[in-house]
Amino acid sequence: MAQRAIGTRALITGASSGIGAEFARQLAADGLDLVLVARSRERLEAFAEELRAAHDIEVEVLPADLLTKAGVKAAEARVAASVNRIDVLVNNAGFGLAKDFDANSVDDELELLSILVEVPLRLTHAALAHMLPAGSGTIINIASVAGYSPRGTYGAAKAWLLSFSRWANIAYKRRGVRVTAIAPGFVRTEFHSRLSTDAHAAAPQGEPREPAQLERAIPDFLWLSAPDVVRAALIDTARGRAVSIPSLRYKLIVAAAKLTPDALAERVARVGR
């Protein structure tokens, strides 16, 4: 098993694509067995078979819509199970809203809050119930550099996740459980292509912008690759760091954001919404 290995069995939410799928690939390469959680059974089964064949590991699939009570309960139950115990939890599931807060329905905003805050809270609570008595475990929460600047409810939710993870790492690391928030910037995944196509954020005269247009508005040097993000995240997690900010350029951006007036920071943040 690779030196950076952080456990024996990991449960990953949002595991069928993007950063979640890359965590699955790299943890599988480190020898961990996996439980993959996402909505599409067909997509999960195909990915699980690929991982089994490539790495000779056990891979369970748990099709669950985490925006439903039944889906969250199923994920909580698996995290809390004493058989084939989960000792690594990766809270990755999430999405973004392309419109401004006032243009979204309150139901859409509450779903965003649920997937980015309530679900990680519930799964973390379920994991700690057996990780703490065992004196070991790892929890990885996918936050964002958006949590360091005024960036609507998405940034606010990620700021909560950053603060929660920092506190939890302080509180539980001495009891054997590491908690790390990963705060990447723009990562080339399906995330932006899944934003609603009626996005109007940062568009001239309020006209809609397609997701591809939003991506083109972001300079190339700001884009990160999912493998690089996950590689850096696993190294920082193994070292017990509370927050991992992949790449020097985003470390510098975060440092600058802390010194930038809120009004200016909000204008800059709107460019990449």
Asked if residue 181 lies in contact with residue 165, where contact means CB atoms within 8 angstroms, the answer is yes
Instruction: Choose the catalytic residue: 148, 154, 172, 250.
Output: 154
| Sheet strands (E) in the chain | 9-13, 33-38, 59-63, 88-91, 137-142, 177-182, 186-187, 223-224, 243-244
172 is catalytic: no
Neighbours of 89 (CB within 10 A): 28
Asked if residue 63 lies in contact with residue 41, where contact means CB atoms within 8 angstroms, the answer is yes
| Residues whose CB falls within 8 Å of the CB of residue 125, separated by 6 or more in sequence, listed in order | none
User: Alpha-carbon distance 211 to 61, whole Å?
Assistant: 30
User: Alpha-carbon distance 61 to 41, whole Å?
Assistant: 7
User: Alpha-carbon distance 15 to 91, whole Å?
Assistant: 10
Active-site residue list: 154
